[in-house]
Structure formats: structure tokens, C-alpha cells
């Protein structure tokens, strides 16, 4: 009950009551002022009715005011962080990233209470809907075996995963090809254009090769069975650069889960799911999204570290949420 309602209720009781029998008797008339009348009602009687003291009542109202101020500060911090890093940054990551700032603002709050504040202000991240597939595996090109099933990498640039996702523009669909390091989650290379030709994926792979930090190490390239990845133009370019090809064997998205997740993250957290005006603006948006993803966004599988940080420090161990995995050799 708010302070205003309490005051209105108190005023009403004061106007209608004349020291009820169940309340303490009124103050006696002062001997020094025989003309002074007895008070019809005392405020402390009102607090006694509810079993609280006047000090406790106002202390509770004060704590509500402080909580409201702190909630406003928290939501402001959340909005600022999401604007900088990504609109779909979840509560756990937000709490870890903002914890020091909360301490600086003298806001003491645990993770569960932090989630309660987000929920109260409709700031929790909603679930995503299904998206359109871009894989066309109905072709006669060679389909490679899945070399990484139930295996996880143990160093950067041991396994790259690739996929294509569509980007809506006012001129029709554009397509974004991405090459991601499965160990560090770093986007090694990408290409956005208005077609799905094999050259789209080749250009993304070229950028990834130019960004290699450990070029002498063995490298496996994993993708779906799409025509762009199976065609000779792509496979020959990969083999010329001493890259071992691996592909999904079923239509299970878990066989290329990392690449699927990266596409989803870039689209839904960094504005690529919206209808963009043209290809040029889409390319600029993609470039900005990749930079934020690599340098600012934290990952649970990286112990809430950033891809660029992990890629440059291979001592950080890879975390997989799937059971019965073995290290990739």
C-alpha cells in the first residue's frame, strides 16, 4: 500500500473516530492549559492497529523509494549495455558484466533479484521463432563424411564451421556466408552479397585464411551439404590450402550447431534480421556485427570470455554442453 493511500485512510479515520474503545485512551488535558481539548485521535493508534511502529512504517516506505531508484538505474545500465553489445544479451551475461558497475553505484542485488527487476520491466529476452533454411543438398556433387561427430576441438584453428543465412533487404534477399572457429567462436571470415553463388563462400574462406594466427596447424572445415560447399570451386580451393573437408550426414541441425547458432546470434542481436534498405548498408551492418561479436560479446562456452580474447589465448579450455564428446585429433 502506498504512502498516499495510508495517509488518506488515516485522515478518514481521524475525521470519523472519537477514540474507539479498543484503542488507547486519549491524552489527558494538560494541567498547564485547562482550556486545551483532548485529541480525538492519535496517529500512533493507527500504526498500532496494524502492529507496526511509525518508524517501521516510514522506513519501509523509504526502502520502496530507494528500490524504485535502484531499479531505474539497473534498467538504464541494461539498455546502455544492450545498445552497445547486443539487444538480445541475456540476464546471466548482463549480471556478470554489470556487477562491478552495480557495486560502484552501491546497489546490492543478487542474480535472482536482478532477474526479477528485468521481469518487472519486461526486459527479459523472448524466445526466437524458427527461421528459413538456405541449404540445398539436392545435387550430384561429392558429399564428404562427417569427421567431427561427437568430437570437440582443443585449440584454435583446429576446426572451422561454415554456414549461409539470408538477410532481408528492400531489393530482395541477400546472403551472408560465415566461417567461424569452433574453439574460440571467433568469426574468421564472412561475405555478404545479393546471390548464393559458390564465390560467396569462397570469398568468406579467403578472408578466414588471411586472418589465421596458427597457419601451420592442421585444419578441418565443417559445413552442411549445400551446393556452394560441395561444388569443385569451393572444395578445390580448400584442398589447395591444405584444409580437410567434413560435412553433415543427416538433416539434424546439431551436426552443424555452432555455425547455426552464430548465424542466429548475428541476425537477432545485431539488427541483421530487420529489413535493410540495400546491399551496401547490409554489408556495413554485417561488418559492425562481426566486430562486436568478436570483441565485445561474451560466451558461456568460453566461461563468459570474448572470442578474440580466447583465440589469442589457447590455454582457455573449450566447454561443450553435449555429452559423450571426445577431443578432436
Average pLDDT for residues 20-36, to the nearest whole number?
Answer: 50
Higher pLDDT, 283 or 324: 283
Higher pLDDT, 81 or 329: 81
Q: Which of 151, 198, 196 is nearest to 176 (CA)?
A: 196
Q: Which three cell numbers stand for residue 166?
A: 539470408
Q: What digits encode the pLDDT tens for the residues 91-117?
A: 888 888 888 888 888 888 888 888 888
Output the pTM of the full model.
0.65
> Do 147 and 246 form a contact (C-beta atoms < 8 A)?
yes
Helix, coil or strand: residue 193: strand
Average pLDDT for residues 190-203, to the nearest whole number?
Answer: 93
Res 17 pLDDT > 70: no
DSSP for 31-70? TT-TTPPPPS--HHHHHHHTT--HHHHHHHHHHHHHHHHH
Average pLDDT for residues 211-227, to the nearest whole number?
Answer: 92
Q: What percent of the chain has pLDDT over 90?
A: 32
Q: CATH number of 151-327: 1.20.140.10, 3.20.20.20, 1.10.10.10, 3.30.420.10?
A: 3.30.420.10
Looking at residue 241, its pLDDT comes to: 95
DSSP for 246-265? EE-SSS-GGGGHHHHHHHHH
Q: What digits encode the pLDDT tens for the residues 157-175?
A: 999 999 999 999 998 899 9
Q: What digits encode the pLDDT tens for the residues 128-144?
A: 655 455 555 555 678 88
Average pLDDT for residues 292-315, to the nearest whole number?
Answer: 88
Higher pLDDT, 256 or 26: 256
> Do 81 and 87 form a contact (C-beta atoms < 8 A)?
no
Looking at residue 140, its pLDDT comes to: 62
Looking at residue 242, its pLDDT comes to: 94
Looking at residue 174, its pLDDT comes to: 93
What long-range pairs does 133-136 form, CB within 8 A, spacing at least 24?
Answer: 134/164, 134/165, 134/166, 134/175, 134/196, 134/226, 135/164, 135/224, 135/225, 135/226, 136/226, 136/227
Higher pLDDT, 15 or 71: 71
Looking at residue 156, its pLDDT comes to: 94
Confidence band, pLDDT 50/70/90 cuts, at residue 19? very low
Alpha carbons 250 and 235: distance in angstroms, whole number: 20
Higher pLDDT, 99 or 220: 220
Q: Which three cell numbers stand for residue 319?
A: 566447454
Average pLDDT for residues 43-65, to the nearest whole number?
Answer: 71
Looking at residue 240, its pLDDT comes to: 95
Would you tell me how many other CB atoms lie within 10 Å of the CB of residue 168?
Answer: 15
Q: Which of 38-42, 44-48, 59-63, 94-98 has the lowest mean pLDDT?
A: 38-42
Q: Which of 245, 243, 3, 45 is nearest to 141 (CA)?
A: 245
DSSP single-letter state for residue 124? S
Confidence band, pLDDT 50/70/90 cuts, at residue 48? low
Alpha carbons 261 and 180: distance in angstroms, whole number: 11
Res 273 pLDDT > 60: yes
Average pLDDT for residues 35-50, to the nearest whole number?
Answer: 62
Average pLDDT for residues 236-243, to the nearest whole number?
Answer: 94
Average pLDDT for residues 35-53, to the nearest whole number?
Answer: 63
Res 43 pLDDT > 80: no
Would you tell me how many other CB atoms lie within 10 Å of the CB of residue 194?
Answer: 16
Amino acid at each position: 500500500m502506498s504512502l498516499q493511500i495510508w495517509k488518506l485512510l488515516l485522515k478518514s479515520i481521524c475525521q470519523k473516530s472519537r477514540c474507539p474503545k479498543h484503542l488507547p485512551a486519549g491524552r489527558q488535558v494538560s494541567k498547564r492549559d485547562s482550556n486545551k481539548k483532548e485529541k480525538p485521535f492519535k496517529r500512533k493508534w493507527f500504526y498500532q492497529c496494524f502492529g507496526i511502529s511509525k518508524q517501521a512504517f516510514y522506513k519501509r516506505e523509504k526502502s520502496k523509494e530507494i528500490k524504485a531508484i535502484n531499479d531505474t538505474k539497473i534498467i538504464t545500465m541494461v539498455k546502455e549495455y544492450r545498445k552497445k553489445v547486443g539487444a538480445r544479451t541475456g540476464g546471466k551475461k548482463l549480471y556478470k558484466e554489470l556487477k562491478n558497475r552495480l557495486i560502484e553505484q552501491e546497489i546490492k542485488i543478487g542474480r535472482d533479484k536482478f532477474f526479477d527487476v528485468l521481469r518487472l520491466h519486461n526486459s527479459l529476452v523472448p524466445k526466437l521463432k524458427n527461421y528459413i533454411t538456405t541449404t540445398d543438398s539436392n545435387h550430384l556433387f561429392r558429399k564428404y563424411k562427417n569427421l567431427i561427430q561427437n568430437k570437440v576441438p582443443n585449440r584454435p584453428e583446429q576446426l572451422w564451421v561454415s554456414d549461409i543465412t539470408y538477410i532481408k533487404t528492400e531489393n530482395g534477399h541477400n546472403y551472408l556466408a560465415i566461417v567461424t572457429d569452433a574453439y574460440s567462436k571467433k568469426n574468421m571470415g564472412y561475405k555478404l552479397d545479393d546471390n548464393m553463388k559458390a564465390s560467396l563462400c569462397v570469398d568468406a574462406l579467403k578472408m578466414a585464411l588471411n586472418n589465421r594466427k596458427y597457419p601451420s596447424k592442421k585444419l578441418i572445415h565443417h559445413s552442411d551439404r549445400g551446393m556452394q560447399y560441395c561444388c569443385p570451386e569451393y572444395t578445390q580451393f580448400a584442398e589447395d590450402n591444405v584444409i580437410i573437408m567434413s560435412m553433415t550426414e543427416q538433416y539434424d541441425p546439431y551436426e552443424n550447431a555452432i555455425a547455426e547458432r552464430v548465424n542466429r546470434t548475428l541476425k537477432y542481436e545485431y539488427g541483421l534480421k530487420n529489413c535493410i534498405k540495400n546491399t551496401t548498408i547490409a554489408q556495413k551492418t554485417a561488418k559492425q556485427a562481426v566486430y562486436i561479436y568478436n570483441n565485445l560479446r561474451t560466451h558461456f562456452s568460453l566461461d563468459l570470455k570474448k572470442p578474440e580474447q580466447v583465440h589469442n589465448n589457447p590455454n582457455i579450455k573449450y566447454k561443450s554442453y553435449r555429452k559423450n564428446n571426445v577431443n578432436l585429433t
